[in-house]
Amino acid sequence: MGMTITGKILKAHTGDGTCEVGREIGLIIDQCLTQDSTGTMAWLEFEALGLDEVQAKRVVSYCDHTSLGFKGESTDDHYFLQTIASHFGAIYSKPGNGVCHQLHYERFGVPGETLLGADSHTPTCGGLGMIAIGAGGMDVAVAMGGGYFYLTVPEVLGVNLTGSLNWGSSAKDVILMILKEISVKGGVGKVLEYMGDGVKTLSVPERATITNMGAETGATTSIFPSDEVTRLFLRGQKRESDWKELKADEDASYDDIIELDLDMITPQVAMPGMPDNVHPVEEVAGTPIDQVFIGSCTNGGYADIRKAALILRGKRVDPSIELIISPGSRQVLQMLIKDGSFEALIKAGARVIDPGCNACIGIGFVPGHGHLSLRTVNRNWAGRGGSKFGRIALCGAELAAASAIKGEITDPRELDPVKVDMIDYIVDDLLMLKPQGKKVEIRRSPNIAQLRRQIPLPDLLEGEVLIKVADGISTDDILPAGPSTQHLRSNLPEISKFVFSYQDDGFYARCREKNGGFIVGGENYGQGSSREHAALAPFELGIKAVFAKSFARIHHANLINVGIIPFVCDTDEMKQGDRLSIDVTDLRGELEVSINGSKKIPVSHNLSERDIAILKAGGLLAYTKEVKN
């Protein structure tokens, strides 16, 4: 039986275990990336491993989320990251250089290699034919140190693309249609592997838009073949020698296949709430908007912003709204300056900001009370833009630009088609700093708090249910990003004050008063980002276990890594204030939790032998040290 691309890369990188669907393997990681908001922890964790330098083939530490340095603490974090990366042998991408995912596929991604990144949108590099996976900081720290990344071998969902996109529809609409079809849970335990004749009609940046937002389906990652289109892209980036062809065998077997005719794709909008709340534009056209934002790691590429500039050229942004343009990288910005797009955008009344994430997670341009912000980003749940009172809808660049002109959601097909003629990529690595080694002293500010030592798991867990939350709770619900927390990512005691602050502002005080306890959730608990802080901060507050109906992959791993047990049970039986007790001496045996000393209900988990050993040791760092000694 022939193999898929996913199967080929996973097999070639299996360092421990047998590469069969459903089995746990230790994956050899070629490249790692960190960014500033998860990176301070990842680097502290790497340091705690006691190694001399990074061991993975290539490690890049990016500064993009708070690159504007909106608070002194963030600037302190940047200098910490710059010096620690240099000290331990990693490349550092300076603030203003762009968003990690955009930069990584431009400058470092290599078809056929593996990438582990401390950010959930790491799969963006799947657009180049990499197995690129998002993970929590501790997993990335271990991989930077040359350790395996452990994962359950996913199924492969083939997505067969035929035809080609018509004017008005874009790669963003492709992934929005997929989300509509399979939902925010449809990719769990799977890799989305693209194939078919339609693939060759998509550029690498378009493929990267699709693999980027595959993260919103819950998929482990997404991948495209590496073909002539990939070769031309890498040639443009002056690194054609990194190219190699990658394709599935003719008789490759997929666990399932979705068919998608690109000719049938029409412009779509994901209305506020969830990324799968997708509607054809006709259903929502005319809805008033207050803001348009074009950029991010999903649609911050040259062609997207060029398209917007061509649409806006000679016109003006509706005066009742604002338009913000955030190029994905300095390369993109330079190209937009060169071809006149920058000028066209400014003349139309747009505000063009420094390449980086910033506004995508609410650092600046936070939507006002009840406002609707139409964005080309990838997430639209409540609070995402930095305020729980703002609302976000998602779409592609041409729909966003057309809507900016009218001040309401607009079908781009109402406008004359525009065509992007590609110009040469401008390759300039000025802000990519090469490591200088041990002579570089690590700069630490008082905001960089020490990590708490991980201690072995006790035999009995007892305490109160401190909060009960609904289905689909995201890591943004657990620990909001945005202006109140972004500068505190290196300071767990301080950031932990914001856990569940949008849901219940008494949660922190309750944790302190009760000396910790339990969280109860519903389905897909912890969906969304790789934000390890959504596990580290509850740990800081004394949370011992989370009981939920199901968990999202990265958050599940993060909980284990910090030493919090993710239990699966019928949480309808539990409510806030219940006293729970559970004997965890034997996590391999039958488990039950006692509720208020009387009722007992069965509890299960999805823990591997290794997960159990990690939890017993108190967390991944303690375990890794234990195994090493």
Given the rule CB under 6 A, which residues bind ligand SF4? 65, 99, 119, 121, 296-297, 357, 360-361, 377-378
Q: Smaller CB distance to ligand SF4: residue 229 or 377?
A: 377
Binding-site residue total for ligand MIC (CB under 6 A)?
A: 11
In the bound complex, what is the minimum distance in angstroms from residue 292's beta carbon to ligand MIC?
19
Please say whether the beta carbons of 463 and 494 come within 8 A.
no
In the bound complex, what is the minimum distance in angstroms from residue 65's beta carbon to ligand MIC?
6
- The CA distance from 464 to 148, in Å, is 36
99 touches which of ligand MIC, ligand SF4, none (CB within 5 to 8 A by kind)? ligand SF4
Please say whether the beta carbons of 330 and 413 come within 8 A.
no
User: Interface with ligand MIC includes 31 (CB under 6 A)?
Assistant: no
165 touches which of ligand SF4, ligand MIC, none (CB within 5 to 8 A by kind)? none
Q: Smaller CB distance to ligand SF4: residue 14 or 474?
A: 474
Residue of 38, 183, 217, 358 interacting with ligand MIC (CB under 6 A): 38
In the bound complex, what is the minimum distance in angstroms from residue 100's beta carbon to ligand MIC?
9
377 touches which of ligand SF4, ligand MIC, none (CB within 5 to 8 A by kind)? ligand SF4
Residue spans of beta strands (DSSP E) within 45-87: 58-62
DSSP result, 556-598: HHHHHHHT-EEEE--GGG--TT-EEEEE-S-TTS-EEEEETTT
- The CA distance from 391 to 411, in Å, is 20
Residues between 56 and 115 that touch ligand MIC (CB under 6 A): 65
Residues between 467 and 486 that touch ligand MIC (CB under 6 A): 481
Q: Smaller CB distance to ligand MIC: residue 7 or 355?
A: 355
Residue of 94, 531, 544, 555 interacting with ligand MIC (CB under 6 A): 531
- Amino acid at position 583, single letter: D
Q: Smaller CB distance to ligand SF4: residue 248 or 292?
A: 292
Q: Which of the ranges 20-28, 161-169, 528-536, 573-581 carries the binding residues for ligand MIC, by CB under 6 A?
A: 528-536
In the bound complex, what is the minimum distance in angstroms from residue 65's beta carbon to ligand SF4?
6
In the bound complex, what is the minimum distance in angstroms from residue 301's beta carbon to ligand SF4?
12
Residue 576 makes CB contacts below 8 A (sequence gap 6+) with 465, 466, 467, 468, 520
Residue 336 makes CB contacts below 8 A (sequence gap 6+) with 302, 305, 306, 309, 327, 342, 345, 352
Residues between 214 and 233 that touch ligand MIC (CB under 6 A): none
In the bound complex, what is the minimum distance in angstroms from residue 177's beta carbon to ligand MIC?
22
In the bound complex, what is the minimum distance in angstroms from residue 360's beta carbon to ligand MIC?
7
User: Interface with ligand MIC includes 37 (CB under 6 A)?
Assistant: yes
Q: If you search the block for the tokens 């620990």, which residue do you land on?
A: 479
Residue of 76, 119, 193, 318 interacting with ligand MIC (CB under 6 A): 119
Any bridge partners for residue 131, and if so which?
114
Q: Give CA 112 to chain center in angstroms.
A: 21
Any bridge partners for residue 351, and if so which?
324
341 touches which of ligand SF4, ligand MIC, none (CB within 5 to 8 A by kind)? none
Residue 440 makes CB contacts below 8 A (sequence gap 6+) with 83, 86, 87
Residue 204 makes CB contacts below 8 A (sequence gap 6+) with 105, 127, 128, 229, 230, 233
Please say whether the beta carbons of 398 and 307 come within 8 A.
yes
In the bound complex, what is the minimum distance in angstroms from residue 300's beta carbon to ligand MIC?
13
In the bound complex, what is the minimum distance in angstroms from residue 486's beta carbon to ligand MIC?
8
Among 100, 114, 12, 102, which residue's Cα sits nearest to residue 56?
114
Angle at 392 between CA 105 and CA 370, to 5 degrees: 155
Q: Smaller CB distance to ligand SF4: residue 17 or 362?
A: 362
In the bound complex, what is the minimum distance in angstroms from residue 359's beta carbon to ligand SF4?
9
296 touches which of ligand MIC, ligand SF4, none (CB within 5 to 8 A by kind)? ligand SF4
Q: Smaller CB distance to ligand MIC: residue 222 or 237?
A: 222
In the bound complex, what is the minimum distance in angstroms from residue 571's beta carbon to ligand SF4?
29
Q: Smaller CB distance to ligand MIC: residue 217 or 226?
A: 217
Residues between 311 and 370 that touch ligand MIC (CB under 6 A): 361
Residue 133, helix vs strand vs coil: strand
Binding mask 263-292 for ligand MIC (x = CB under 6 A): ------------------------------
Q: Smaller CB distance to ligand SF4: residue 297 or 541?
A: 297
560 touches which of ligand MIC, ligand SF4, none (CB within 5 to 8 A by kind)? none
38 touches which of ligand MIC, ligand SF4, none (CB within 5 to 8 A by kind)? ligand MIC
- The CA distance from 271 to 274, in Å, is 7
Please say whether the beta carbons of 77 and 447 come within 8 A.
yes
User: Interface with ligand MIC includes 530 (CB under 6 A)?
Assistant: yes
- The CA distance from 451 to 449, in Å, is 7
Tokens standing for 473?
A: 């709770």
- The CA distance from 329 to 101, in Å, is 9
Please say whether the beta carbons of 63 and 36 come within 8 A.
yes
Angle at 611 between CA 469 and CA 600, to 5 degrees: 50
Q: Smaller CB distance to ligand SF4: residue 198 or 327?
A: 327
Checking 367-370 for CB contacts under 8 A at 24+ apart, the result is 367/290, 367/291, 367/391, 367/392, 368/290
Residues of the shown chain interacting with ligand MIC in the complex, contacts defined by CB under 6 A: 37-38, 65, 119-121, 361, 481, 529-531
